[in-house]
Amino acid sequence: MKTIFEHVEHIKGKPHHIRKRVAFGAAAFGSVFIGLVWLTTSIGTGAFAIRDSSFADSVGQSGAVTAGSDTSGSQLAGAGAAAIFSNDASAPAHIEIVDATSSAPKKQAEQTTIPF
């Protein structure tokens, strides 16, 4: 049986299109493996369980607070701010364009070289 280093040396001797296929295959396999571990862990711990459902009961989380459930309502800050700052709550949503150009002549932008 080959060690991982012997296998890598063997792959290095292959043409570029073969090495590229092996690299993408290994990356895809690693991504699928990580995704399956995450999904299995999430399902096993009941992270996707809807409260007061039969699945929540089966994993022992009946009545438990799920992740991300905030009772203070701070998750609705954007909607609340939109309602507060609008003049008329029943008015339809609109976009206001403000012309911010100045009468001063525009200065030519300097070119910047970023060394690597």
* Tokens found for residue 88: 């008329």
What is the structure's pLDDT at 33?
Answer: 97
What span, in angstroms and rounded, lies between the C-alpha atoms of 64 and 83? Answer: 32
What's the pLDDT at 64? 47
Residue type, 10: H
21: pLDDT confidence band, cut at 50, 70 and 90? very high
* 5-29 mean pLDDT: 93
Fill in the DSSP letter of residue 98.
-
Q: Where are the domains of the chain?
A: 1-62
Q: Which residue has the higher pLDDT, 31 or 1?
A: 31
CA dist., res. 17 & res. 77, Å (int): 51
Cβ contact 59:46 at 8 Å: yes
User: Which residues fall within 8 angstroms of residue 82, CB to CB, at 6 or more apart?
Assistant: 93
Better pLDDT: 26 or 62: 26
Q: Does 86 score more than 60 pLDDT?
A: no
Query: What is the average per-residue pLDDT within 48-71?
Result: 58
Higher pLDDT, 61 or 46: 46
Amino acid 84: pLDDT: 57
> How many CA atoms lie within 13 Å of 44's alpha carbon, on the beta-carbon side?
6
